[in-house]
Structure formats: C-alpha cells, structure tokens
Copies of this chain bind each other. A is one copy, B any other.
Amino acid sequence: MFESAEIGHSIDKKTFDAEVPALREALLEAQYELKLQGRFAVLVLICGVEGAGKGETIKLLNEWMDPRLIQVNTFDQQTDEELTRPSAWRYWRQLPPKGRMGIFFGNWYSQMLQSRVHGQIKNAVLDQAIDSAKNLERMLCDEGTLIFKFWFHLSKPQMKARLKALQDDPLHSWRISPLDWLQSKTYDKFVRYGERMLRRSSRDYAPWYVVEGIDPYYRSLTVGRMLLEGLQAALHAQVPRAGSPHAAPLIGSLDHLGLLDSLDMSQSVDKDDYEAQLAGEQARLSGLMRDKRMRKHALVAVFEGNDAAGKGGAIRRVAAALDPRQYRIVPIGAPTEEERAQPYLWRFWRHIPARGKFTVFDRSWYGRVLVERVEEYCQPADWLRAYDEINAFEDQLVEAGVVVVKFWLAIDQDTQLKRFQAREKIPFKRFKITEDDWRNREKWPQYCDAVGDMVDRTSSEVAPWTLVEANDKRFARIKVLRTINEALEAAFADD
C-alpha cells in the first residue's frame, strides 16, 4: 500500500509559494471556526518512516496555523505516574478539548509497531492492539473527535539517503540517534508490519493518509490540504459526523419481569452477627490492601443503586476499614465544563488509581446507560454504544492489573419510600433528598429495564456485576465488603 508513496512526488518551489498563502488563510479560518463552534476536537496522529519529515511538517503546520490552538504531544518514555496506570491513561490525559487540535507523536500505533519490529510481540498481539486502537478511535469519533492519521513514507533508498544527508548537516545531526539508525536495518520489518497496521486500522471514520516524505513542498502541501478539507467538511456538516447507528433502542421486558425481580429481597443479618461479620470483613480488607501483592494491583469499586439504597453507608463501611491515604472516593455528579469538553469516559480516566491504590466511584460511567438513558440526556445511539465502550474500558483496566468490582444496590419501592420519608426528618440527612429523587421514583420501571440491560451487557467475566439485596442495610454492607475481599483474593491467587 506504500507503492504510490515511493514514486517521487514533488512540487516546485514556485507552485508551493503560490499556493501557501491561500491555504494558510483557509486553515486559520477553519481553526477559528473550530474554536468558535467548540463542537469537536481534532486529533492528528503522526507515524511513519524515520527521516520522512514528520517533525518538519508539523513545525511548518504550526507556523501556518495559530499555534495557540494546537497542542503537540510526544509520548516517549512513560513517566512513573504513567507506568503505574493502564497504558491508555497517558493518552487520555493529553486529549485535546473541543475546539482545539492535538497532535500526537509517538502514539499508540508507534508503540505497537516498535514492539512488533523488536520482536516483543507477535502478529496475534499486534492484531489485538490494532483492534483496541480501532475501538478507541471509533469511540472518539462517536464523541465528535475528528481524527487524522498520517503515515510519512520513504522508500528504503530514499530513507538511507535522507539519513545520510541529515547526519552530514551539522544543524540536524543532533536528531539522529544510534537507535534511529537502527531503523535503516529494520526498515523492511517496519514497513511490513506498518502495512499490516495501516491496512487493518484504516476506517471511514479515521482513515490513514500515506504521505510521501521525500519532497518537503509536496508533503507539506499534501498534509495541509488534507487537514483543511477534513476540517471544512466537519465544520460545515449539518448533522453530527458521528455514525448514526442502525440499532433500534432496546425494548423493555414485555412481561415486566426483570433481573431485579429474581433477587431475594428478604435477606438480612441480625445486629450481633453483623457486628462480628463487619469487623471480620473489614480486618480482612485492611489486611489485603496492605498485602505485598497489592503493589501489582489497583482496586476500583463502582457503586450504583436505587436512590436511598444505602450506597453512602456501604462506602463508609468500606472506607472505615482503610487508612484514608490508601483510597479516594469520587462522587460523580454533573460533569464540569472541562469534562464536557472531552469524550464521555475522560472524567473517569482522570481518577483511575495508581497501583497499590483504591478508588471508589460513587456513581460512575454507568450513568450513561442509567440516568442519561432514562432521562434522555443523550441520544439512544450514545447509550447503545456505551455498553461496548464501557466493556472495552474495563478490559483495559483489568489487563493492567486493576481489580474492578461493581455493585448495584437494589431496594424495593416500599423500602425506598420509607427511607425518603425518614430522611426528610433528620436534619443532617435532608440534603440527601431532592426533587429529583421523587421524580426518579416515578420512573421506577424504566430504571428496572435500564438496570437489566446494563447488567446483561456489561457483566463480564473480568468485571462482573454484583447485585446487592439492600432492603436490609446490614446484609448489603457485609455482601459488599465480602465481594471486594473475594475479588482481591482471587486476583492475588492468579498472580
């Protein structure tokens, strides 16, 4: 697929000089329009053969465009903060917000390609990585991001000549490290696996553009024009560019019998038993969190449930087992402005714990398939795709050693009513009851359907849901603690 990028494309200086002013002006216009609309972000991924002008082209783009609206990121060595988290964390933390352009050097493609070329992974693992990349990009596109992927190419003789020339140029020689030279030897591998990668990850929503890198005028003008066309098309699109899925929204169970109906809500624990079991499970959790094997893991606990199901109380009993320096509780409410300028999952990625730590999410990314679905805060297409996105997200966590436990605390309608009424009487609990809570209550059946679909679609082997019968608070708290402990022990046993 690189053949047409080895035929010696070139443009003479005169043509170049004549075309640049109009291109620049149009690019600037597009950039300001992008900022003004603030509807989507632009992500540019830069890959390709060494010496093919990647750096120079981006430098020139920065001169043509307004560099204040562009952020360039290189992903070289991981920092220690990055090393203790799932590998995608470093990319998420640098994503450009809506209205801006981010340029990623050394992105996920470079990483997988390097690994394959150096023989650290085989094709099967490369293909897995390509698949993850596609999923990530599909999701970013669905969230509105406009993605450009550029592969800068040189034929083998072109590359050799170019590297030689750069080495001889005292001004440029600093850039050529021995490691880069090595690429000359591994050129064949690099191109072969690169081709595989490009072929398998070029999609309508995030296509690869192969750019011949030998002639600076040709490559700069090519990249500039592609960016411009893509930007203009996206800026003028009447409908969101994101794919409109064919899926029909899920329908509720016709007999109104859901997963939640199968729970035995009468389960309870009496007070004396409770005290003993609670102390036991808390000591167990405390011990597990201090276990040496915890250094290889992190823990993420998700708490969802009916209003007044006792999430707060359960979280407190978990927290009480631990040193406050080990955990962080993240309450999820309305997203902030900075969070709204990013893809949906961004606000959760920013709180993913480092190894050895524990994050409790009090409500979570499941909001999308619960409240956002029921209240119609997002399109059906958005929550329908969220199941896959969430599964992919949790897979990444688990693969990085994060233990993921997810709780749905279920109560019945009578219990909820009693608790609402009781709360309104206790001064320091009255903050917990709002108009919204009463309104949500009226949508009980819709929430039941949403919970059923959520559990069916996101209870995976690696990150299963635990339904917690929470009419009896004591029973619920013990079950929560025990489940966390068992999950940690299972993870340690697998090490």
Contacts and interface: CB of A to CB of B under 8 A. Distances in A.
Given A59-B324, A81-B81, A323-B55, A316 B29 contact: no
A185 interface: no
Given A67-B324, A325-B55, A427 B316 contact: no
A103 B171 CA distance: 51
Contact of A59 (B62, B174, B323): B323
A72 B312 contact: no
A328 B63 CA distance: 14
A188 interface: no
Interface in A50-80: 55, 58-59, 62-63, 66-74, 79-80
Contact of A63 (B66, B69, B319): B319
A362 interface: yes
Contacts of A80: 79-81
A324 B66 contact: no
Interface in A461-491: none
A239 interface: no
Contact of A319 (B62, B319, B324, B328): B62
Contacts of A338: 336-338
Contact of A329 (B26, B32, B68, B330): B68
Contacts of A74: 325
21 contacts: A29-B427, A32-B431, A59-B320, A59-B322, A62-B319, A63-B316, A66-B312, A68-B329, A68-B330, A70-B329, A71-B328, A72-B324, A72-B325, A72-B328, A74-B325, A79-B79, A79-B80, A171-B283, A174-B290, A336-B337, A337-B337
Q: How many copies does the complex hold?
A: 2
A73 to B, nearest CB: 8
A410 to B, nearest CB: 21
Given A63-B316, A337-B336, A58 B105 contact: no
Which 8 pairs across A and B sit closest by C-beta, in order of nearness? A72-B324, A337-B337, A28-B428, A32-B431, A68-B331, A74-B325, A68-B329, A25-B428
A431 B174 CA distance: 39
A312 B79 contact: no
**Most chain B CB atoms below 10 A, which of A25, A105, A319, A428:** A428
Interface string A297-323: 000000000000000100110011011
A323 B103 CA distance: 13
Given A79-B81, A103-B324, 13 more contacts: A29-B428, A32-B428, A58-B324, A59-B320, A66-B312, A67-B319, A68-B312, A70-B329, A72-B324, A105-B325, A171-B283, A336-B337, A338-B338
A427 B283 CA distance: 69
A276 interface: no
Per DSSP, are chain A's interface residues mostly helix, strand or loop, or mixed? helix
A36 interface: yes
Contacts of A315: 67-68
Contacts of A29: 427-428
Contact of A431 (B36, B105, B283, B336): B36
Contacts of A428: 25-26, 28-29, 32
A15 B68 CA distance: 62
A322 B63 CA distance: 10
Nearest to A337: B337
A410 B331 CA distance: 48
A25 B79 contact: no
A78 to B, nearest CB: 10
A424 to B, nearest CB: 15
Contacts of A312: 66, 68
Nearest to A28: B428
Nearest to A328: B71
Contacts of A324: 55, 58-59, 62, 67, 70, 72, 103
A188 B290 CA distance: 32
A354 B329 CA distance: 29
A105 B337 CA distance: 30
Interface in A1-53: 25-26, 28-29, 32, 36
Nearest to A26: B428
A43 to B, nearest CB: 15
**Most chain B CB atoms below 10 A, which of A55, A315, A320, A323:** A323
A38 to B, nearest CB: 12
**Most chain B CB atoms below 10 A, which of A28, A55, A68, A312:** A68
A100 to B, nearest CB: 10
B320 A68 contact: no
